[in-house]
Amino acid sequence: MNKMQKKVATVYSQVEISSGIFDLWLSEEEIANSAQPGQFIGVYCNQDSRLLPRPISICEIDEVQGRIRIVYRVVGGGTNEISHFNKDDKITILGPLGNGFTLNNRTSVLIAGGIGIPPMLELAKQLQGDKHIILGYRSETFLVEELSKYGKVYIATEDGSAGTKGNVVDILRTLSIKMDDIYACGPKPMLKAVKDYAIANKVDAQLSVEEKMACGIGACLGCVCKTKDNEGNIVRKRVCKDGPVFKAEEVEL
């Protein structure tokens, strides 16, 4: 496994690409060179009162320029502080963290909702084979054009303002393709529906799970999720260290 490191990164660019959704490119060569799709970084705030790193998934990796990109939603004081960083500002990050997706390079469905969409970009870039990309939004869309470069994109919105009205799992159920793999990231109810679909249809699925974290490196046991071992016993695994990507049949949602 690649080595995680704590590094001071430099902000290369930051823009708001949708209401409350920010797109931040960070220059940090070593982390960029070892990061894999589906991994995440811990982003530290500069304010002393905010101790813990914010876990944010890696959206894109530029090994040539030594940069990584995160696309995140402002949900509180910490992410709000991060959203105010400007070009050339210094920002401490920890990463790459966790285990990313296993790329099987067969006919794939990438399915994601809301702020679960960003990690699909680097995955779509690196993954070989036919790709069907299902994206779910409340209303405003983002990253659609970029993802369209790597596969056929389907969109669902809750209010019907773009694509079909409804959710991503409705689209998944109506896809008339022979799929080998599903890669998913999004809210828990979505992941649960994807898991049920994958098991019922005997499709291999990898789910990227989210949980509140403290350390991000496997020490605090804050971010556990329930998994089943081979004998069917419930085992609590760490989302940060053992995940965030789990096999559908393994993780209990």
Partner 1 sequence: MNLSVKIANVELKNPVTTASGTFGSGKEYNEFVDLNQLGGIITKGVSNIPWVGNETPRVAETYGGMMNAVGLQNPGIEKFIQNDLSFLQGFETKVIVNVCGKTIEDYCDVVRRLADQPVHMLEINISCPNVKEGGLAFGTDAAMIEKVTKEVKKYAKQPIIMKLSPNVTDIAEMAKAAEAGGADAISLINTLLGMKIDIHKRQFGVANKVGGISGPAIKPIAVRMVYQVAKAVKLPIIGLGGIMTGEDAIEFLMAGATAISVGTANFANPTATIDVLNGIEEFMNKYGIKDINEIIGCM
Positive or negative, the CA dihedral 77, 78, 80, 85 is: positive
- CB closer to partner 1 out of 144 and 253: 253
- Residues 76 and 134 sit within 8 Å (Cβ to Cβ): no
Best CA proximity match to 173, nearest among 148, 147, 206, 196: 196
In terms of Cα–Cα distance, which of 57, 56, 42, 128 is closest to 91? Answer: 42
Binding to partner 1 by CB under 8 A, coded x per residue (else -) over 20-49, reads ------------------------x---xx
Question: Residues 64-103: x/- map of binding to partner 1 (CB under 8 A)?
Answer: --------------x---------------x---------
Nearest partner of 112 among 132, 130, 136, 138, judged by Cα:
136
Smallest distance, partner 1 to C-beta of residue 151, A: 33
The CB-of-240 to partner 1 minimum distance in angstroms stands at 10
* 4 belongs to the binding site for partner 1 (CB under 8 A): yes
Task: Please list every residue from 108 through 167 that binds partner 1, using CB under 8 A.
Answer: none
Instruction: Using the minimum distance from each CB to partner 1, give the nearer residue, 53 or 113.
Output: 53
Structural contact between residues 98 and 217, judged by C-beta atoms closer than 8 angstroms = no
Q: Which is nearer to partner 1, 175 or 214 (CB)?
A: 214
Q: Minimum distance between the CB of residue 35 and partner 1, rounded to whole angstroms?
A: 16
Q: What string marks each residue from 162 to 201 as x (binds partner 1 by CB under 8 A) or -?
A: ----------------------------------------
Residue 8 in 3-state DSSP?
strand
> What is the Cα 60 distance to its own chain's centre?
10
CA-to-CA distance for 218 and 201, rounded, in angstroms? 33
Which residues in the 50-69 window bind partner 1 by CB under 8 A? 50-53
DSSP string, 126-149: H--S-EEEEEEESS---SHHHHHT
Residues 213-242 that bind partner 1 (CB under 8 A): 213-215, 217-225, 234, 236, 241
Give the integer Cα–Cα distance in Å for 159 and 106. Answer: 33
Residues of the shown chain interacting with partner 1 in the complex, contacts defined by CB under 8 A: 3-4, 6, 44, 48-53, 78, 94, 211-215, 217-225, 234, 236, 241
